[in-house]
Each structure stands twice: as C-alpha cells, then as structure tokens.
A and B are shown apart, each in its own frame.
Chain A
C-alpha cells in the first residue's frame, strides 16, 4: 500500500507569490495534519483536518489555509510568500481523530524555497 504522498517534492517561488501543496493520506486514513519544518528545528504544527473539518490550528498567520476533500486528500495554501516561509512542509495522516494514541505517518514532504 502506498504511504502518505505529497506533491510537488520541490518548489521554488518568489516573495509575494502563492503556493498550493497537496497531500494524499494512506488509504483508509481520515485525518490529515500539516507541519512546517525550518532547517535546524523540529516540525511545527500548522493544521489538522478530520472528516473535512478543521480540528486544530497552530500559531501561523492567516496567509496559511488548508482544506480537506471528500476523498480525504488535502491542500495547504500559502499566500503572499515571505522568505521565512522557506521550509520543508510535511503532511501526516492517521486513521481517525484519536486524541493522539495512534501514530501519525509522514509523507516525504515538499521542500519550498522562496527567493
């Protein structure tokens, strides 16, 4: 079975542009979370979606938004890109909204570079 898949793998943008990142969870998984990992730091939570509803939001500006589709795939959108948005964006899926008892499985990530 395929794991969590993310696209694209790499992306280069310039300041002020917007970007859409995509994630397909493991088959059967209904919860998708997004994380940002800046070089030298651990991943930082951005959003969680479960059954197409937002279930959690991290401390990120409104330029960041996301949604989940009926097939449980998800998009992360970032507007008005800043240099500081350069990071590895990770998507994680889990079977259900469990309150943390079950592990989350991460995709390979999208490496976003802002010039």
Chain B
C-alpha cells in the first residue's frame, strides 16, 4: 500500500465549477500536511499547508481528518489557470522527508 494515495484523475471540469480532491495517508506518525501544485514539466510549488482546524486561502479550502487519516482540497469557482496536477504531501515527526502522492490532474475547460 502506498503511503499517500490519491485518485490520479483526470478531473475535467468547466470554468466556475467546484471540484474536490481527496487523499489518504497510511502512517499515523505523519505530522505536517501540504498541497503542492505542479504544472506540466515544472517543479512542485506549495499551494497551502493543511491544519486540523481546516484552512482557507481565497478559492481554496483544505481539510485534515487525523482520525481517518484523510486530507481534502476544495477549489471553488475554477479558473482555466487552475489546470495542473495537485500533489498531496505529508511528512513525519522530526524529519523534512516529504512523502508525495502520485498527484491528481485537473483540467478546467472553457
């Protein structure tokens, strides 16, 4: 079983739609949680950290459920520029080792 699991997609949604991605992680020692965005043939870039209380950044909302070992990302009012791969990332206590999921590909169409 992979340490971080994501649906690879692709998710094809029209502009203005709301889309949600889910991610599960297997190691309960995971301490920090992130969503990274990766454009085609580019490096991953931090989108947002994920906190237990849930957090929002503009059109993006991230949720963490430690009991279920589950992370989510909600994108509202999708833009064409949101088209990318979204990587779910966890790391463990006392390390900087990031564990990435395979990524979920989003394609927003006009």
Contacts and interface: CB of A to CB of B under 8 A. Distances in A.
Interface of A: 31, 33, 35, 40-45, 48, 50, 55-56, 58, 88, 90, 92, 94, 97-101, 103-109, 111
Contact of B95 (A40, A56, A108): A56
Nearest to B90: A100
A48 B100 contact: no
B102 A41 contact: yes
Measured as residues with beta carbon below 8 angstroms from the partner, the interface class of chain B is: 20 to 34
A108 B102 contact: no
A28 to B, nearest CB: 16
Contacts of A105: 46
Contacts of B41: 88, 111
Interface in B11-67: 31-32, 34, 41-46, 49
B37 to A, nearest CB: 11
A97 B96 contact: yes
Given A90-B43, A107-B43, A40 B102 contact: yes
A3 to B, nearest CB: 9
B46 A103 contact: yes
B103 to A, nearest CB: 5
Contact of B96 (A40, A43, A90, A100): A100
A45 B102 contact: no
B97 A104 contact: no
